[in-house]
Structure 1
Amino acid sequence: METQSDNPFLATISVVVPVYRGESTIARVVGELERFTKPSTTINGVGYVVSEVLLVNDSGPDNSATVINDLAGKHDWVRPVWLSRNFGQHAATLAGMSSSTSDWIVTIDEDGQHDPGQIALLLDKAVEENSSLVYAKFAGGAPHSKWRNIFSTTAKWFYTKFLSPQDGEFFSSFRLMSGEIGRSVGAYAGSGVYLDVALTWVVEKSVVCEIPPRAEYPRQTGFTFKRLLSHFLRLVLSSGTRPLRLVSIIGSLSFLFGVLYAAYV
């Protein structure tokens, strides 16, 4: 399948979808993307086309693999990417980014909460701001459960305040990035790296594009508290030496407190 258009002014886009428990939703997501596989134009006049959709099978517990195979057989622009075991959302997304071939990469979730029609807004924002990385931000907040939103907000606040305050203040799984940057990060970032932290290594500053909210399709979320905690630990461990320095300071203060307490007793 050719991913470059004959029109040199038509931006090609690879859409990467990590799939863990998408048996009941991924076909609908692909169906929504289909109309953008023909040349379209953004509000600001930027021509673009979705040249490929990469469905990354993250070895989930349902029959997502069968659905992915069926979709790949039906559409020549659907490319499956197979992982040997479950590595998690960020590693699956990185695998898809590494396999992409287009000018731009867009990452979206498997559950349909991200509207493919909003990709044009992200592309316009990237051109306006001359940015290679754009995050979509739902107006009014992400359509998740209250506890998940609180956990995510707290984790991102902790990251920007204590770990890497010079980086952007907002991360989202609905992203648009230049293909060159996405493939370079996918090539050298390991499976244990937090994707958005890895992107800060090569992108000086990301920008945010506010989009209208969209209700998630009914489904059982794959994000348990254990998985969210795992995401947070990956975020901390991927943030360079600052977390190690923080742990060292806490350890030193604890030792000093212990010595003073022992002397007092």
Structure 2
Amino acid sequence: MLTDTAPYLSFVIPVYGSEKVLPELVSRLDAVMETMAETRQNYEVIFVCDQSPDRSWHVIQQLSARHPWVRGILLRMNAGQHNALMAGFAEARGQVVMTMDDDLQHSPSDIPTLLAELATGRDVVYARFKNRQHASWKVWGSRLNDKVAGYLMNKPADLYLSPFRAMRAAIVRDILRYTGPYVYVDGLVLSMTRNIGTVEVEHHDRFAGDSGYSLKKSISLWLKMATNFSIVPLRLTSFAGLVMAGVGFILAVLLVIQKFTLDAMPIGWSSLIVTILMIGGVQLVALGMLGEYLGRVLLTLNSRPQYVIGETVGLLAKEEEQA
């Protein structure tokens, strides 16, 4: 039965395509929590079902009926992993909030390791994986994202951004102050604290099913990081424009010299077309980048919601409203 007493630890776990995994995940979480004095009977698990195409929401309802510490949020529309996290953060009551994937690639047995590092005075602790049980394109994409994040957001080089993280409640409250529709949790974390630790853990095979994180979603997440938390892309397009202008000026000088030193000006249609295409390409890229920024500004000003909740189970506030 739910009480007003805030738990020590809140898990916020986005769910997509994991109906076969959730019972095992809950069982393993419970087993680990019972071995720790501070979390025994003093934690909650908030599953945020991001319009999963399978029966995940039905499974969450069943788990909540059997385990009073399991809560559930069903989003009316698919919002994406980071937006789903915001929905869970808004309901989390713990002194510490931990996020992890729903597929058991993040082992609950590593939770004490993250909490121990957090207890040393850290604001946030990330798990760094010794090995990655992902497809090659995901591994390389993650490395590229890590390098880009270091440049765009001044991320420390030794910090690995993973979805397996532990945060103090104060950091989560600061994250919730962000109301824009394009959420990138790691970008928000880096804008609020640099007191961040890492611990090394194992990365495991997915327990069941297939990952719902596609290349399209990965690119969308990269764009959130690039355009919501940095103006570097705009500066890069300005720099590219300056470079092209410089190249054009140099070519103009060379053509003037050529005009006075040669009897006849050679016809160079190929070079002319290449130059036009290069300059036009840079201009289109710059316009596209500006359009991306302006589109996001428009949607933010129009108060596009981060997520829309369709149904909940096990949440204290909702039960009180129904009573």
TM over 0.5: yes
Aligned to 2:213, the other structure's residue is in SS state coil
1:239 Cα deviation from its structure 2 partner: 2.2
Q: What residue in structure 2 maps to residue 104 of structure 1?
A: 96
Structure 2 CA distance, aligned partners of 1:82 and 1:184? 24
Q: Equivalents in 2 of 1:23, 1:64: separation in Å?
A: 4
Residue 34 (structure 1) aligns with: 30
Change (3 A) 1:24 1:166: closer
Paired residue for 1:215?
A: 205
- Aligned 8 A contact 1:21 1:60 in 2: yes
Correspondence for 2:136: 146
Write the mapping of 1:202-241 to structure 2, written as runs, cut at 5 A: 202-241=192-231
Cα 1:257–1:166 change in 2 (3 A) is same
Q: Structure 1: which amino acid aligns with 2:68? A: D
1:12 aligns with 2:8: yes
Query: Do 1:135 and 1:176's aligned partners in 2 also have CA atoms closer than 8 Å?
Result: yes
Q: Flag the 1:158–1:206 CA change in 2: closer, same or farther, 3 A.
A: same
- Residues 18 and 208 in structure 2, CA contact (< 8 A), matched pair in contact too: no
Distance 1:3 1:186 in 2: 21
Q: Which runs of 5+ in 1 are unaligned?
A: 6-10, 42-46
Structure with the higher helix share, 1 or 2: 2
| C-alpha contact 1:91 1:190 (8 A) present in aligned 2 | no
Indicate if the aligned counterparts of 2:20 and 2:208 stay in contact, CA closer than 8 A.
no
Show the counterpart of 2:80.
88
Does 2:135 correspond to 1:134? no
1:132 is aligned with what amino acid? D
TM-score if structure 2 supplies the norm length?
Answer: 0.71
The correspondence for 2:52, drawn from 46, 49, 60, is 60
1:74 maps to 2:63:
no
For residue 160 of structure 2, the aligned residue among 142, 167, 170 is 170
Distance 1:101 1:197 in 2: 22
- Equivalent in the alignment of 2:173: 183
After superposition, what is the alpha-carbon deviation per residue over 1:129-176, rounded to whole angstroms, capped at 9, x for unaligned? x1010001122x22211221011111111221x212254631000000
Q: What is the letter of the counterpart of residue 21 of structure 1?
A: G
Which amino acid is the alignment partner of residue 51 of structure 2? Answer: S
Which one has a bigger Cα radius of gyration?
2
Distance 1:218 1:206 in 2: 32
1:143 aligned partner, one-letter code: Q
- 1:169-227 CA-to-partner distances (Å, cap 9, x unmatched) read 31000000001211330342433121100111111231110113322224211122111
What SS class does the counterpart of residue 40 from structure 1 fall into?
coil
Counterparts of 1:177 and 1:3, CA distance in 2 = 22
Cα displacement (A) at 1:28: 1.5
Residue-by-residue CA offset, 1:50-105 (whole Å, 9 max, x unaligned): 51100001112222121112112221111112222111001101211121001100
Amino acid paired to 2:59: V
Q: CA deviation at 1:3?
A: 6.8
Higher relative contact order, chain-length normalized (CA < 8 Å, sep 6+): 2
Q: Which amino acid aligns with 2:231?
A: T
The 2-side partners of 1:111 and 1:12 are apart by: 24
